[in-house]
């Protein structure tokens, strides 16, 4: 017996219930009209959109539907965190295969709803569409008096890491590894970092008035450092010793189990959604670790422990050949 | 020889050039940072997202890539028009098959760029992702002091149609018809309505202070009238005589060629993105045609020319069985 799905309209009603109709601070009309209506905000509006596509950004065999909803939401809100802004609300356009049962759809929305609650950023509307594969497109609106841009890094700035890097990629490595499943606390930590990343809104706001530039680390440290370098027309120098010292023990443990270096996960593993920022030493906020500096020039450089300098390639590209 | 695509980063640069980096009134940072930055606006923010998915919302064999970009943009902005709002800016998350050549990607963006220019609603950022099929997710932000909701229709209101209905569906019928291609002015008009719909921003703004409720017609007149009825807890009565009198000659001509009734295209054909509104007779704006009224009750009713009343079914549903 093929389970019948509810119609589009009753599905929207079910989704709206899970999301408390999109209610929240500053929300005048949530789910159910042509558009959501929000109270206007002072300062600047910051606004982003992010896609999470099945078999590109996630696989359904290693993540629960709730994880998929949670991750997509945090990934999108993370761009708002990187601007130093407050997240006001989000919209979600879901693409859903016809065969996807109601319980899976609602589980995705439950993951989004938990993330919305955690981040105090209500999901106020969206769109449903058929498609061959699941895709979640999340648009997030935020506000801040003076957004932090990726293009304002200054020569002489320190390079700050806020939050862990490489953990999510190591967690993914554990999940994809053939053979018996790896176990232990360190593995659980990395898998959790992959399944349940966190947008660092509070830490992002803490950068305002301190950082000259910031970006969230979605493509990997090397790739996102390259974005700062290119936008700001400077070079980024990563200090291997400082970076290595900042890596969590759990990452070192898991990297060893996977026969990879922790540094490679840190440099090229994406999807931790930690923040990378630059600013003067005297303004370094608590919780930020200095892992390098901004110098004149181009590109991203790794200064090895022995003093050797090495140009770094970029992280993940979607259409590279 | 397989044409190599440019990398994600050079593609973004090419797209940004086509969109003049997302510049526009009120845009402080366009394309290129984690998020776009906009000047804050007074009044209310209205905010929507809409998806246009290959083989669900469009087929590449009957539309050009430019058409696909244009249509997706107008469809999304149309929700802002239906709130009576000004469109401030849009974001676009593109899902693109790896095999889709650069020229097709740029053609989609050209269509979006033309629409953005036409609507004075700049495309200020977005996201690129791989996917199996093309999908365009457009999020649009607008502002207005007092948005018009679909939930405020009042018993006694007239039902107003602003813009044509059924033309786009008739145009699609012409394009999908087997046998020799239909020709003539009426056919061209309908095909153009399908290929190049228009979001009625000006007309939407003209409803402010006049209409009690409004919606854009994306699912078909019957389906969108049902949304007003349900949200406002009223019944909508469509007057066949008034509706038929309002239908353009071109629709009558094409319906005849396709051996369908013009009324069926008008009631069930979507994607014209005209506006349906309700309000008191004395406030009916110029350009709005009265095609029925709001009464107590539930659902959507068609009053036939002979006075018979008939309950109408809904339009297109995405997940119906």
DSSP string, A266-301: HHH------EEEEE-GGGPPTT-EEEEEEESSSSEE
User: Is the Cβ–Cβ distance between B302 and B308 less than 8 Å?
Assistant: no
Query: What are the Cα distances from residue B200, in Å, to A307, B39, B216, B250?
Result: 63, 24, 9, 20
Chain-centroid distance of CA B78 in Å reads 5
Check residue B26 and give its pLDDT.
92
* Alpha-carbon distance B306 to nearest alpha carbon in chain A (angstroms): 33
From chain B, the residues in CB contact with A121 under 8 A are none
**Which of B4, B53, B231 comes nearest A130 by C-beta?**
B53
Q: Half-sphere exposure of B154 toward its Cβ, with a 13 Å CA cutoff?
A: 9
| ipTM metric | 0.91
Is the CB of A128 less than 8 angstroms away from the CB of B319? yes
> Can you give the pLDDT at residue A32?
85
CA distance B252 to chain A (A): 30
Residue A91 to residue B34, Cβ atoms within 8 A: no
What three-state secondary structure class fits B321?
coil
Across chain A, how many H-helices and E-strands are there? Answer: 10, 13
Residue B1, pLDDT score: 41
Structure tokens at A166: 């490489």
In chain A, which residue's Cα lies nearest the Cα of B55?
A131
**pLDDT band for position B314 (50/70/90)?**
low
Among A40, A85, A215, the residue with its CB nearest the CB of B42 is: A40
Q: Of the candidates A53, A126, A314, which has its C-beta nearest B131's C-beta?
A: A53
* pLDDT score recorded for residue B82: 97
pLDDT greater than 90 at residue B6: no
Residue B141 has pLDDT above 50, yes or no: yes
* Contact at CB, A142 and B35, closer than 8 angstroms: yes
User: How far is the alpha carbon of B168 from chain A, nearest alpha carbon, in Å?
Assistant: 20
A318 contacts B149? CB cut-off 8 A: no
Specify whether the CB–CB gap between B277 and B203 falls below 8 A.
Answer: no
- Compare CB distances from A47 to B8, B91, B129 and report the shortest one's residue: B91
Taking an 8 Å cut-off on Cβ atoms, the answer to whether B40 and A41 are in contact is yes
Alpha carbon separation from B317 to A113, A129, B229 (Å, rounded): 25, 10, 17
Residue B9's pLDDT is 77
Q: Which of A34, A139, A216 is the mutation pick for testing B, counting most B CBs within 10 A? A: A34
A282-314 pLDDT, tens digit each:
999 999 999 999 999 999 999 999 999 999 975
Percent of the residues in chain A that have a pLDDT greater than 70, as a whole number:
96
Q: Which of A126, A128, A137 to mutate to test the interface with B (most CBs of B within 10 A)?
A: A137
Task: Tell me whether strands B300-303 and B235-239 are parallel, antiparallel or unpaired.
Answer: parallel
* Set of chain A residues whose Cβ sits within 8 Å of the Cβ of B51: 93, 95, 127, 129, 137
The most distant pair of C-alpha atoms in chain A lies apart, rounded to whole Å, by: 67
* Coil vs helix vs strand at A32: coil
Closest to B56 (Cβ–Cβ): which among A79, A131, A317? A131
| pLDDT classification of A320: cutoffs 50, 70, 90 | very low
pLDDT of residue A254 exceeding 90: yes
Look at A40 and B44 and tell me if their CB atoms are within 8 Å.
yes
A98: nearest CA partner in chain B: B319
Nearest partner of A216 among A90, A81, A44, A57, judged by Cα: A81
- In 3D, which of A204, A219, A195 has the Cα closest to residue A70? A195
Q: Could you say which DSSP state residue B319 is in?
A: S
Q: Which chain A residue shows the shortest CA-CA distance from B147?
A: A37
CA of B182 to nearest chain A CA: how many angstroms apart? 31
| Nearest chain B Cα distance for residue A183, angstroms | 33
Model pLDDT, residue A8: 77
For residue B216, the cross-strand partners are B275
What gap in Å lies between CA A220 and CA A270, rounded to an integer? Answer: 4
> Is residue A271 within 8 Å of A196, Cβ to Cβ?
no
Q: Which residue has the tokens 């996102």?
A: A224
Q: What is the spatial distance between Cα B275 and Cα B288, in angstroms, rounded to a whole number?
A: 9
H or E segment at B174?
A: helix B167-176
User: Looking at residues A138-159, what average pLDDT do you find?
Assistant: 97
Task: Compute the distance between CA of residue B195 and CA of residue B171 in angstroms, rounded to an integer.
Answer: 8
Contact B133, B55 (CB under 8 A): yes
- Give CA–CA dist A294/A275, Å, rounded: 16
**Closest residue of A to B28, CA-based?**
A44
Query: Is B317 in Cβ contact with A9 (below 8 Å)?
Result: yes
Mean pLDDT value of segment A8-34: 91
Between A69-73, A297-301, B268-272, the lowest mean confidence (pLDDT) is in: B268-272
Report whether pLDDT(A116) > 90. Answer: yes
In angstroms and rounded to an integer, the radius of gyration of the C-alpha atoms of chain A is: 20
The full DSSP string for A144-197 is ESSPPPTT---TTPEEEEES-SSHHHHHHHHHH--SSPP-SHHHHHHHHHHHS-
Identify whether the C-beta of residue A19 lies closer than 8 Å to the C-beta of residue A122. Answer: yes
From CA A105, how far away is CA A136, in angstroms rounded?
11
pLDDT of residue A19: 95
Do the Cβ atoms of B137 and A51 come within 8 Å?
yes
In the numeric block, which tokens belong to residue A132?
Answer: 């061959």
Q: pLDDT band at residue A34, thresholds of 50, 70 and 90?
A: confident
Q: How far is CA B274 from CA B19, B58, B70, B254, B295, in A?
A: 27, 19, 16, 19, 22
Residues from chain B that touch A82, judged by Cβ atoms under 8 A, are: 34-35
Q: Is the pLDDT of residue B4 over 70?
A: no
Instruction: Test B48 with A28 for CB contact under 8 angstroms.
Output: no
Query: Beta strand B135-144 with B44-53: parallel, antiparallel or unpaired?
Result: antiparallel
Q: Is the pLDDT score of A170 beyond 50?
A: yes
| Residue of B79, B129, B137 with shortest CB distance to A34 | B79
Residues of B in contact with A45 (CB under 8 A): 37-41, 45, 141
**CB B218 within 8 Å of CB B224:** yes
- Contacts A–B by Cβ distance under 8 A: 240
For B127, the closest of A7, A28, A50 (CB atoms) is A50
Return the residue of A nearest to B143 by Cα.
A40
Residue B126 sits at the vertex; the CA angle it makes with B123 and B130, to the nearest 5 degrees, is 135
| Residues on chain B touching A34 (C-beta within 8 angstroms) | 48, 79-80, 82-83, 150, 214-216
* Separation in Å, CA of B111 to nearest CA in chain A: 20
- Looking at residue B8, its pLDDT comes to 77
CB contact under 8 A, B37 and A46: yes
CB contact set of A226 (below 8 Å; sequence gap of 6+)? A236, A299, A300, A312, A314, A315
Helix (H), strand (E) at residue B35: none
pLDDT, residue B316, reads 46
Cβ A35–B48 below 8 Å, yes or no? yes
Angle between helices A102-119 and A65-81 (to 10 degrees): 30
pLDDT of residue B32: 85
């Amino acid at each position: 017996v093929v389970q019948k799905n509810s119609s589009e309209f009753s599905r929207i009603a079910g989704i709206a219930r899970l999301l408390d109709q999109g209610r929240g601070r500053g929300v005048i009309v949530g789910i159910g009209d042509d558009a959501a209506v929000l109270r206007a905000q002072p300062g600047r509006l910051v606004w982003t959109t992010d896609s999470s596509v099945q078999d590109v950004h996630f696989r359904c065999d290693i993540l629960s539907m709730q994880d998929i909803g949670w991750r997509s939401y945090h990934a999108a809100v993370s761009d708002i965190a990187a601007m130093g802004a407050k997240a006001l609300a989000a919209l979600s356009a879901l693409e859903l295969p016809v065969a996807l049962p109601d319980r899976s759809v609602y589980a995705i929305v439950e993951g989004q709803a938990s993330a919305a609650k955690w981040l105090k950023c209500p999901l106020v509307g969206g769109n449903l569409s058929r498609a061959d594969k699941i895709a979640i497109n999340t648009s997030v609106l935020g506000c801040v008096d003076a957004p932090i841009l990726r293009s304002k890094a200054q020569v002489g700035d320190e390079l700050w890491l806020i939050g862990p890097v490489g953990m999510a990629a190591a967690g993914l490595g554990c999940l994809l590894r053939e053979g018996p499943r790896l176990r232990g606390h360190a593995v659980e930590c990395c898998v959790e970092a992959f399944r349940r990343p966190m947008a660092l809104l509070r830490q992002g706001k803490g950068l305002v008035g301190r950082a000259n530039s910031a970006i969230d680390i979605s493509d990997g440290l090397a790739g996102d450092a390259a974005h700062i370098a290119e936008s700001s027309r400077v070079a980024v120098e990563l200090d291997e010793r400082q970076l290595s010292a900042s890596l969590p023990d759990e990452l070192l443990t898991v990297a060893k189990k996977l026969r990879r270096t922790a540094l490679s996960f840190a440099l090229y593993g994406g999807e931790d959604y930690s923040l990378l920022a630059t600013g003067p030493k005297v303004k370094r906020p608590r919780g930020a670790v200095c892992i390098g500096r901004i110098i004149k020039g181009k590109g991203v450089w790794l200064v090895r422990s022995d003093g050797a300098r090495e140009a770094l390639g970029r992280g993940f590209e979607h259409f590279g050949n």
